[in-house]
């Protein structure tokens, strides 16, 4: 029997890798984990956590403006970008320490450095090699920037959190969730925001009503959209940058951010050399057990480019370890995964979008939709509205899609996702007594379909 240094060697200390390492160690396995950047991965350091903190920061401008409608009188507040960055850094450092302590206390051997796979059972970090019965790759994703002239001048979501100073204006190239989230953040902090998107709308893949509604609300906040627009080149000058479009238009700006998607962070870690198959984008190809084309090497999370969400990576880590070391074959259910976009207003969504529902259930769906001005805005003076939408299969009365654009949409849709996974019908929603006055009660008071197919 071959003896290895470790039972499991994990490459990448993000959410999925850390969960897998801790669980395996807790089940008595000898585990090592290597990380060359920061504990917690993208989510903790340059993703979910700092983004949500910055969303909170940007919302105060509207809260201050709304206060007068409720009788509060105050002087105009000022904003200190450097203070926000410093406070964010302090919180991130705390979370990094939490991750490190969790690993150490679990008995995981923590290795700081870039790991590369030498063969099916060997990993090198620096000049030292480690053997393992199994290797798990959980290296996440990385911002993708196309080859545009002047790309050396741009920033991505990796750098935007730590700008030396807040710009007066920015061009954000892209129309995905990262683009719309940072558009809202920067707009709320007083930055003039222009979004350049090569498609006709933002948020491809989301429900069409959600896309249209969010565009309208973001425009009402002063964000400018330039659809069907591609960037040809970016030129630097003494006062900032000039963005040149393929159509010959130009726009002057203080900063250019590219939010044009993310790709699997799989390059340069020895995958090709040892025969691990990847797709053209670099995503590691795995089977239903997260096993690659090399049987002793596994992968999960964003590096596999399937469902790129932090809680999904965590669930995959748990499922893998349970199967390998606890003899539990419970797999991750990828249906009806709820998600949120922390745009302003927020998006919360779970289940099918209308176009997919119509294709799956032709002439058999009902659409319920409500658009209203939230109670708070009756006194705040804000014109921001909320939209809620429910998609129901008429013959079975089963709810197959729920979508919301409005304040706290993510918080509300989380509970709705539980109901949908339990198989709730429209009748169950109708018989549920609402909490009044809340926005969430609208989901249990929508009685008449607005569309029928």
Tens digit of each residue's pLDDT, the chain (453 residues): 689 999 999 999 999 999 999 999 999 999 999 999 999 999 999 999 999 999 999 999 999 999 999 999 977 899 999 999 999 999 999 999 999 999 999 999 999 999 999 999 999 999 999 999 999 999 999 999 999 999 999 999 999 999 999 999 999 999 999 999 999 999 999 999 999 999 999 999 999 999 999 999 999 999 999 999 999 999 999 999 999 999 999 999 999 999 999 999 999 999 999 999 999 999 999 999 999 999 999 999 999 999 999 999 999 999 999 999 999 987 899 999 999 999 999 999 999 999 999 999 999 999 999 999 999 999 999 999 999 999 999 999 999 999 999 999 999 999 999 999 999 999 999 999 999 999 999 999 999 999 655
Instruction: Count other C-beta atoms under 10 Å from residue 204's C-beta.
Output: 11
Do 151-260 and 339-452 have matching folds?
no
Identify the DSSP state of 306: S
Beta bridge pairs of residue 149? 233
CATH code 3.30.390.30 for 339-452:
yes
Secondary structure element (H or E) that encloses residue 389, with its range: strand 386-393
Q: Environment class of residue 66 by beta-carbon count within 10 Å: exposed (0-12), middle (13-18) or buried (19+)?
A: middle
6-142+263-325 adopts what CATH topology?
FAD/NAD(P)-binding domain (3.50.50)
Tokens of 260: 């044009």
The residues that are catalytic are: 436
Contact of 81 with 165, CB cutoff 8 Å: yes
Tokens 């019908």 appear where? 425
First to last CA, the chain: 63
The fourth-level CATH superfamily of domain 151-260 is: FAD/NAD(P)-binding domain (3.50.50.60)
Whole-number Å distance between alpha carbons of 136 and 99: 18
Dist. CA 418–CA 299, nearest whole Å: 28
Q: Output the pLDDT for position 71.
A: 95
- Nearest-angstrom CA–CA distance, 181 and 187: 10
On whether the CB atoms of residues 282 and 263 are closer than 8 A, the answer is: yes
Would you give the DSSP letter of residue 268?
T
> What residues form DSSP beta bridges with 242?
235, 252
Question: Which SS3 state, helix, strand or coil, does residue 33 take?
Answer: strand
**Bridge partners of residue 244, in order along the sequence:** 233, 250
The predicted pLDDT at position 74 comes to 78
Instruction: Please list, in sequence order, all residues whose beta carbon lies within 8 angstroms of the beta carbon of residue 242, skipping any fewer than 6 positions away.
Output: 234, 235, 250, 251, 252, 253
CA distance 397 to 417: 16
- According to DSSP, residue 278 is labeled B
Question: Would you say 253 and 194 are in contact if contact means Cβ atoms under 8 Å apart?
Answer: yes
Report the pLDDT value the prediction gives residue 359, as an integer from 0 to 100: 97
CB 355 within 8 A of CB 208: yes
- Give the C-alpha separation, 171 to 154, whole Å: 10
141 neighbors 313 (Cβ within 8 angstroms): no
Could you tell me which residues are beta bridge partners of residue 31? Answer: 8
- Torsion, CA 379, CA 380, CA 381, CA 383, rounded to 10: -110
C-alpha span between 312 and 332 (Å, rounded): 8
Domain ranges in the chain? 6-142+263-325, 151-260, 339-452
Judge if the upstream peptide bond of residue 437 is cis by omega within 30 degrees of 0. Answer: yes
Separation between Cα atoms, residue 56 and residue 443, nearest integer Å: 26
Q: Give Cα separations from 371 to 70, 107, 386, 396 (angstroms).
A: 24, 52, 6, 26
- Tell me if 442 sits within 8 A of 409, measured CB to CB: no
Q: Is 168 helix (H, G, I), strand (E, B) or coil?
A: coil
């Amino acid at each position: 029997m071959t003896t290895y240094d470790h039972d499991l060697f994990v490459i990448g200390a993000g959410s999925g890798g850390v969960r897998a390492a801790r669980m395996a160690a807790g089940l008595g396995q000898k585990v090592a984990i290597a990380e060359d950047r920061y504990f917690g991965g993208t989510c903790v350091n340059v993703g979910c956590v700092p983004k949500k903190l910055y969303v909170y920061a940007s919302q105060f401008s509207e809260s201050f403006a709304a206060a007068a409608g409720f009788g509060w009188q105050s002087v105009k507040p000022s904003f200190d970008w450097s203070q926000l960055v410093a406070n964010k850094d302090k919180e991130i450092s705390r979370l990094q320490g939490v991750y490190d302590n969790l690993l150490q206390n679990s008995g995981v051997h923590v290795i700081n450095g870039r790991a590369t796979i030498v063969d099916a059972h060997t990993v090198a970090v620096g000049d030292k090699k480690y053997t393992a019965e199994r290797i798990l790759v959980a290296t996440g994703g990385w911002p993708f920037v196309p080859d545009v002239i002047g790309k050396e001048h741009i920033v991505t979501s990796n750098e935007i959190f730590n700008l030396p100073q807040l710009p007066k204006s920015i061009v954000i190239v892209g129309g995905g969730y990262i683009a719309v989230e940072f558009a809202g953040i920067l707009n709320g902090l007083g930055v003039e925001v222009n979004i350049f998107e090569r498609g006709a709308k933002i948020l491809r893949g989301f429900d069409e009503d959600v896309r249209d509604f969010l565009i309208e609300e973001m425009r009402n906040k002063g964000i400018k959209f330039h659809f069907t627009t591609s960037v040809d080149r970016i030129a630097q000058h003494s006062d900032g940058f000039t963005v040149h479009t393929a159509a010959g238009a130009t726009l002057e700006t203080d900063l250019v951010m590219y939010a044009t998607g993310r790709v699997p962070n799989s390059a340069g870690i020895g995958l090709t050399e040892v025969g691990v198959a990847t797709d053209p984008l670099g995503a590691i190809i795995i089977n239903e057990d997260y096993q690659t084309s090399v049987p002793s090497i596994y992968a999960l999370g964003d590096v596999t480019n399937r469902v790129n969400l932090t809680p999904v990576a965590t669930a995959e880590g748990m499922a893998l370890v349970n199967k390998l070391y606890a003899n539990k074959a419970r797999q991750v259910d990828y249906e009806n995964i709820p998600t949120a976009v922390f745009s302003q207003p927020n998006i919360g969504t779970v289940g099918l979008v209308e176009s997919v529902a119509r294709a799956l259930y032709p002439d058999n769906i009902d659409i319920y939709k409500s658009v209203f001005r939230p109670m708070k805005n009756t006194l705040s003076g804000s014109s921001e509205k909320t939209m809620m939408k429910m998609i129901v299969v008429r013959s079975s009365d089963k709810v197959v899609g729920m979508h919301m654009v409005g304040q706290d949409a993510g918080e509300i849709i989380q509970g709705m996702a539980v109901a949908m996974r339990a198989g709730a019908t429209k009748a169950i929603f109708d018989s549920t007594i609402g909490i009044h006055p809340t926005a969430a009660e609208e989901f249990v008071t929508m009685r008449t379909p607005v569309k029928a197919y």
